[in-house]
């Protein structure tokens, strides 16, 4: 069914005419189960993330600045691991679930390990393993979501998943601080509870996420699983290549969250105590808008919404650039636009990537697009930081906004030409 | 395996893991109760009056880390008898420093919301609050200027909780005469190697004030992966780099030397910081006899002795070492942090 439909629905643009308003059955049980796994896992991991600085500084008496160095390395490693995760997931029908379970399991193991390590280096090492687990599981998980969903409903399926994921991310810190209050700085209790929750996440995955049926073959049944070179050869598919290039092009001008919050705070002269609240604003908007925008993506086309999402981000940049003095309303508006941007692009890009990838290589295809985007954003952070030193934050953001406008126009052109014939099967 | 079986397995697992989690929480909560009981062999701590005016001889005030009802309170001991009975003030601080009858106390505030917030509180000589400022992150350093006219504090900010591991610092200086506060020293103009310098990754921490010039301070500036000793000018709002590879400077009482931690290449990355002293006139560095990793802003006990915290059985102990590189490190007192000498 997946094969037939993914071929039939040549482009998401075909969706609008179909069954508007019948969204109820559009989200399969597999997606809800994977959403539950992500929700539970994110509670667990955000519990740790939220208390780690406090633990390092007040619990261990170390200074956490050393983490910054490790972070850059982790970003690079995480991207490469994601490619491998996507590739191995495509080896045989059970691959997606197995690799995802490995990824979730690896991260679950890290929580009790935190009880044993007490130096910045070792804690950094455990975090790196945790990131590796995250890198491994991302592509197979998204592949399972797209394989389990009828192509015309993939946008909303990813919307549901991202909304559940973000819910977990918001609940985790609350639970962690409640536990710290209850136990008076019982960081070991937080890590233990986080580990238990992570194990439940893995169990829900193993018990309630169905093993995807053997991945449908492109033409005739193949005896050997795809090779790594074949995963990279996916870039020969014009539609996937165009999508990856556009995601990278736009990723190169997507300012990292931290930089955007810093600019917002300085530009609006926000009280510094509000600083930790800014990411929550983005997350809340993302959470509320992910599903509705997923539905919109299914109607107007994922690539169109992906581009519109970047237009929304441009609006947010413009609002930051033009704002002066104190204005809580502007801050709320920018955070809303920022969350809207994520809701219009994050799951939507995965849905768009699944549209143009052969079903038996969907793990690798999603990983390619995701990794390309992540590396481009990382490069943007480095460039943005360097440019800031020379020009200052305001000018750098203005230049970035101009570059993004050019990138979005180019991407609009490139993706438009891709639409008519850009199906996965044609190039295989 | 049908649905009922799977649900049963999940239920059993949730019960088991829930038991483990509950056990861990109860164990930790019980242990926190023990922290309110004095430990045998620990220092005697008695409630009393702590003042920041040294009326009866030189005193050492610090945060008491010993378990018992006065854990985390500011306590005082006679400077000549550091392991003697401690007088507890009833004021709790995560970090503390005092000079000239003023104290700076960085506190955690447990209010209605689940998440803690922090405050920087300026205290008078009777440890009553004069003025409080919100602090935007986890407290790490603080200082009162020898004149008492300025206080400074540094917190760790994790700007983006979803990004995970990226940290930065925020340092503020407040004037105790008009309560004006510069809440982010990163807005000061930086002069690096004689030229104006701007970068997005600048972090400032660890202010230490001059006794001779009320406008002068020293601090750490980190940018581009390096740390610098900077000379700061409060009125001019400038930071000028003087020396590289310096963190958490501490100016000697006569203003001629600076003790700091320095990253020593070749050591394991989790034990790189060693305690050094820089002579500001000759710009020569001297390693102290302390061979362990230091992660504290030291305090000068007098013109020739440094005091600093190292991890101990109850969080932290205070140690001393001569500033001129001679001698060896000695325990000053157990279960204490953030010391200041008065008088």
Express each pLDDT in A4-19 by its tens digit. Answer: 223 233 333 333 333 4
How far apart are the CA of B128 and the nearest CA of chain A, in angstroms? 24
The answer, yes or no, to whether residue B80 has pLDDT greater than 60, is yes
On whether the CB atoms of residues B43 and B333 are closer than 8 A, the answer is yes
Does A151 have pLDDT greater than 70? Answer: yes
Arithmetic mean of pLDDT, B111-136: 84
Q: Residue A329 above 50 pLDDT? A: yes
Q: Which of B6, B17, B25 sits opposite A182 (nearest CB)?
A: B25
What does residue B326 show for φ and ψ, rounded to 5 degrees? -85, 180
Contact B167 A69 (CB under 8 A): no
Q: Which residue of A has its CA nearest to B201?
A: A385
Are the Cβ atoms of A279 and B28 closer than 8 angstroms? no
Separation in Å, CA of B214 to nearest CA in chain A: 27
| CB-based contact, A395 to chain B, within 8 Å | no
Chain A residues closer than 8 Å to B9 by CB: 203, 207
Residue A427, pLDDT > 90, answer no
Provide the β-strand partners of residue B59.
Answer: B78, B342
pLDDT of residue A89: 86
Structural contact between residues A108 and A203, judged by C-beta atoms closer than 8 angstroms: no
SS3 content of chain A, % helix, strand, coil (to 5): 80, 0, 20
Confidence of residue B166 (pLDDT cuts 50, 70, 90): low
The confidence band for B138, taking pLDDT boundaries of 50, 70 and 90, is confident
A46 near B CB under 8 A: yes
Axis-axis angle for helices A154-183, A328-355 (nearest 10): 130
Best of B17, B69, B72, B161 to substitute, by most chain A Cβ atoms within 10 angstroms, is B161
Compute the nearest-CA separation of B272 from chain A (Å): 11
Indicate the pTM of the whole model: 0.80
Average pLDDT over residues B2-16: 93
3-state secondary structure labels for all residues of chain B: CCHHHHHHHHHHHHHHHHHHHHHHHHHHHHHHHHCCCCCCCCCCEEECCCCCCCCCCCEEEEEECCCCCCCCEEEEEECCCCCCCEEEEEEECCEEEEECCEEEEEEEECCCCCCCEEEEEEECCCCCEEEEEEECCEEEEEEECCCCCEEEEEEEECCCCCCCCCCEEEEEEEECCCCCEECCHHHCEEEECCEEECCCCCEEEEEEECCCCCCEEEEEEEECCEEEEEEEECCCCEEEEEEECCEEEEECCCCCEEEEEEECCCCCCCCCEEEEEEECCCCEEEECCCCCCCCCCCEECCCCEEEEEEEECCEEEEEEEECCCCCCCEEEECCEEEEEEEC
pLDDT the model gives residue B174: 97
| pLDDT of B54 over the 50 cut | yes
The neighbouring-strand residues paired with B105 are B96, B121
* Contact yes or no for A74 and B165 at CB 8 A: yes
Maximum average pLDDT range among A6-15, A255-264, B276-285: B276-285
Report percent pLDDT > 70 for chain A: 82
Q: What is the mean pLDDT of residues B252-260?
A: 97
Which residues does chain A have within 8 Å of residue B17's beta carbon, measured at their own beta carbons?
A: 196-197, 199-200
Least confident of A116-120, A282-286, A374-378: A116-120
Mean pLDDT across chain A:
83
Of the two residues A416 and B121, the one the predictor is more confident about is B121
pLDDT at B198: 86
Q: How far is B281 from chain A (nearest CA, A)?
A: 30
Q: How far is B55 from chain A (nearest CA, A)?
A: 33
pLDDT at A138 over 60: yes
Burial of A391 (0-12, 13-18, 19+ CB in 10 A): middle
pLDDT of residue A216: 52
Contact A71/B at CB under 8 A? yes
Using a CB–CB cutoff of 8 Å, tell me whether A410 touches chain B: no
Over residues A238-244, mean pLDDT: 91
Is pLDDT at A221 greater than 60 in this prediction?
no
Contact A63 B316 (CB under 8 A): no
Quote the tokens at residue B251. Answer: 């100016």
Interface size between A and B, measured as CB pairs under 8 A:
175
Q: How far apart are CA B289 and CA B305, in angstroms?
A: 12
């Amino acid at each position: 069914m997946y094969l037939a439909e993914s071929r039939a629905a040549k482009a998401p643009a075909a969706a609008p005419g179909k069954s508007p308003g019948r969204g109820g059955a559009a989200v399969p049980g597999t997606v809800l189960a994977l959403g539950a796994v992500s929700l539970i896992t994110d509670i667990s991991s955000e519990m740790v993330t939220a208390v780690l600085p406090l633990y390092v500084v007040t619990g261990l008496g170390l200074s956490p600045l050393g983490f910054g160095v490790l972070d850059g390395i982790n970003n690079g490693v995480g991207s490469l691991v994601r490619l491998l995760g996507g590739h191995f997931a495509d080896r045989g029908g059970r691959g997606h679930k197995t690799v995802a379970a490995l990824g979730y399991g690896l991260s679950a193991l890290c929580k009790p390990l935190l009880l044993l390590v007490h130096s910045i280096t070792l804690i950094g090492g455990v975090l790196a393993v945790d990131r590796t687990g995250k890198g491994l599981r991302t592509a197979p998980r998204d592949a399972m979501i797209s394989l389990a969903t009828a192509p015309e409903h993939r946008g909303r399926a990813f919307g549901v998943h991202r909304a559940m994921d973000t819910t977990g991310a918001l609940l985790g810190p609350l639970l962690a601080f409640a536990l710290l209050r209850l136990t008076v700085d019982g960081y070991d209790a937080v890590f233990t509870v986080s580990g238990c929750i992570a194990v439940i996440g893995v169990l829900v995955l193993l018990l309630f996420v169905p093993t995807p049926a053997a991945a449908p073959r492109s033409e005739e049944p193949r005896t050997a699983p795809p090779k790594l070179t074949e995963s990279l050869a996916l870039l020969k598919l014009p539609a996937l290549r165009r999508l990856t290039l556009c995601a990278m092009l736009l990723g190169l001008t997507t300012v990292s969250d931290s930089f955007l919050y810093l600019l917002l705070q300085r530009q609006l002269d926000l009280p510094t105590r509000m600083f930790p609240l800014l990411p929550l604003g983005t997350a809340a908007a993302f959470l509320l808008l992910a599903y509705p925008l997923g539905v919109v993506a299914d109607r107007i086309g994922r690539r169109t919404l992906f581009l519109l999402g970047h237009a929304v981000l441009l609006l947010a940049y413009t609002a930051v650039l033009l704002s002066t003095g104190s204005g809580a309303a502007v801050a709320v508006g920018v955070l809303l636009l920022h969350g809207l941007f994520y809701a219009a692009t994050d799951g939507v890009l995965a849905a768009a990537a699944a549209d143009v990838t052969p079903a038996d290589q969907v793990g690798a295809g999603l990983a390619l697009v995701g990794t390309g985007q992540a590396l481009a954003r990382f490069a943007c952070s480095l460039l943005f930081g360097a440019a800031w030193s020379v020009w200052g934050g305001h000018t750098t953001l203005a230049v970035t906004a101009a570059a993004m406008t050019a990138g979005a126009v180019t991407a609009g052109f490139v993706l438009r030409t891709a639409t008519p014939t850009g199906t996965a099967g044609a190039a295989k | 395996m049908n649905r009922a079986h799977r649900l049963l397995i999940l239920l059993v697992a949730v019960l088991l893991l829930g038991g483990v989690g509950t056990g861990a929480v109860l164990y930790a909560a019980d242990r926190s109760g023990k922290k309110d009981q004095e430990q045998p062999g620990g220092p005697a701590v008695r409630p009393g009056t702590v003042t920041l005016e040294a009326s009866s001889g030189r005193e050492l005030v610090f945060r008491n880390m010993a378990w018992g009802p006065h854990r985390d309170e500011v306590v005082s001991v006679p400077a000549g008898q550091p392991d003697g009975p401690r007088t507890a003030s009833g004021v709790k601080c995560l970090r503390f420093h005092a000079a000239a009858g003023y104290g700076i106390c960085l506190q955690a505030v447990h209010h209605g919301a689940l998440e803690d917030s922090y405050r920087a509180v300026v205290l008078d000589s009777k440890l009553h609050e004069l003025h409080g400022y919100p602090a935007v992150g986890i407290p790490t350093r603080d200082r009162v200027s020898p004149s008492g006219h300025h206080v400074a504090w540094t917190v760790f900010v994790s700007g983006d909780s979803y990004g995970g591991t990226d940290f930065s610092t925020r340092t503020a200086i407040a004037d105790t005469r008009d309560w004006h506060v510069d809440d982010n020293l990163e807005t000061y103009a930086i002069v690096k190697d004689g030229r104006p310098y701007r970068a997005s990754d600048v972090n400032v921490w660890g202010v230490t004030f001059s006794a001779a010039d009320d406008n002068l301070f020293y601090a750490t500036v980190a940018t581009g992966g390096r740390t610098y000793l900077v000379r700061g000018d409060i009125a001019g709002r400038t930071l000028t780099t003087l020396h590289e590879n310096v963190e958490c400077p501490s100016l000697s009482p006569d203003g001629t030397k600076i003790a700091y931690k320095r990253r020593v290449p070749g050591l394991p990355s989790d034990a790189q910081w060693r305690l050094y002293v820089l002579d500001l006139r000759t710009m020569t560095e001297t390693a102290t006899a302390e061979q362990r990793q230091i992660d504290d802003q030291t305090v000068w006990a007098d013109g020739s002795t440094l005091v600093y915290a190292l991890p101990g059985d109850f969080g932290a102990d205070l140690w001393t070492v001569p500033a001129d590189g001679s001698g060896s490190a000695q325990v000053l007192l157990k279960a204490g942090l953030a010391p200041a000498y008065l008088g």
